[in-house]
Amino acid sequence: MSSPLLLEIEESLAIITLNNPARANVLDLPMAMAFAHAVGEIAANPKVRALLITANGKQFCAGGDITAMQDPTRSLHAVLEELIAPIHTAIAVLRESSFPIVSAVNGAVGGGGIGMALCADLVLAAESMKLRGGYSAIGLTPDAGGSWFVTQRAGAARAKEIYLTNRAISAAECLQLGLVDAVHPDAELAEAAKKLAVHLSRGPSLAQGRIKMLIREASHNTIEQHLEMEKSFMLASGESADGQEGVRAFTEKRAPKFL
């Protein structure tokens, strides 16, 4: 039996590939555990400077394993708790990560797959991509951070519409709403996502992490707090080897070589 998820490390780029296309990369317990384990490995690897999340097959992720939720030997509460715990742990780690994350959404995505796709800093989608909440259609509520990421990207009113109506939203509309950052022809998505992720993996890692933190904290800080945070980060970046190399490369009209 093949692994439900593949993890590769190519120099400074980590690649997570959901690998159960026969079941639409459904979020069953093996997939949830494999995802959490892979995220843990990546977070503990100091060589990783960017992450690409992608999937094999025609669908990115259909969401939770509804078949497992009908196990007559266990309560639905127990099944959901077991499934959610590793996914939520992994999503929390990724949100706090300092390295850039790119996702390549190669087709339909729903349920918990939404959180796995939108937890990325930059979300690229195939033209065939469709997003559907689906939870309330079966009497359940969002998990895997989906409601948080959708609200952050598209606003509260649109998040309610997405999760209450459960209508399928096309890639073009997702782009218009800000749920994804770019849409590519299906045959070009993998190459575009890999190119972007490799580019980010070669960037100034300390500065990238500070940028992520500044943006993450912007909604919590007062303007005075944020200005002070920007100042401290800028001064620290100016003292770094990457900062000095970046300025030097700019004045010398060459590409920088970050550590």
Say what the pLDDT of residue 259 is.
Answer: 83
CATH classification of the domain holding 37: 3.90.226.10
Q: Indicate whether 258 belongs to any domain.
A: no
Q: Tell me: the pLDDT tens digits for 126-159? A: 999 999 999 999 999 999 999 999 999 999 999 9
CATH classification of the domain holding 212: 1.10.12
Same domain, 191 and 211: no
Least confidently predicted of 74-78, 147-151, 199-203: 74-78
Same domain, 191 and 214: no
pLDDT band, residue 72 (cuts 50/70/90): confident
Mean pLDDT of 196-205: 96
Contact 142, 149 (CB under 8 A): no
Same domain, 30 and 122: yes
Say what the pLDDT of residue 119 is.
Answer: 97
Nearest alpha-carbon partner for 68 in 40, 35, 33: 33
Same domain, 170 and 235: no
Q: Indicate whether 14 belongs to any domain.
A: yes
Same domain, 162 and 246: no
Same domain, 42 and 109: yes
Mean pLDDT computed over every residue of the chain = 95
> Does residue 2 carry a pLDDT above 90?
no
Say what the pLDDT of residue 65 is.
Answer: 86
Q: Which residues contact 17 (CB under 8 A, 6 or more apart)?
A: 5, 6, 7, 8, 54, 55, 56
Domain extent, residue 171, equals 5-201
Beta bridge partners of 101: 51
In 3-state terms, what secondary structure has residue 71? coil
Same domain, 11 and 88: yes
> Does residue 192 carry a pLDDT above 90?
yes
- How many percent of the chain have pLDDT more than 90? 93
> Does residue 1 carry a pLDDT above 70?
no
Give the burial class of 82: count Cβ atoms within 10 A of its Cβ; 0-12 exposed, 13-18 middle, 19 or more buried. Answer: middle
Region of residue 69 (left: phi > 0; alpha: psi -120 to 50; beta: else): alpha
pLDDT band, residue 68 (cuts 50/70/90): confident
Nearest alpha-carbon partner for 50 in 97, 95, 101, 9: 101
Q: Tell me how many domains the chain contains.
A: 2
Same domain, 91 and 164: yes
Which parts of 71-209 are beta strand (E)? 101-105, 108-110, 122-126, 130-132, 169-170, 182-184
Contact 5, 60 (CB under 8 A): no
Same domain, 43 and 94: yes
Q: Indicate whether 49 belongs to any domain.
A: yes
Q: Indicate whether 259 belongs to any domain.
A: no
Same domain, 110 and 226: no
Same domain, 35 and 121: yes
Mean pLDDT of 145-174: 97
The arrangement of strands across the sheet holding 101-105 comes to 5-10, 13-18, 50-55, 101-105, 122-126, 182-184
> Does residue 95 carry a pLDDT above 80?
yes
Amino acid in the structure at residue 71: D
Nearest alpha-carbon partner for 210 in 227, 234, 226: 234
Say what the pLDDT of residue 27 is.
Answer: 94
Q: Tell me: the pLDDT tens digits for 35-52? A: 999 999 999 999 999 999
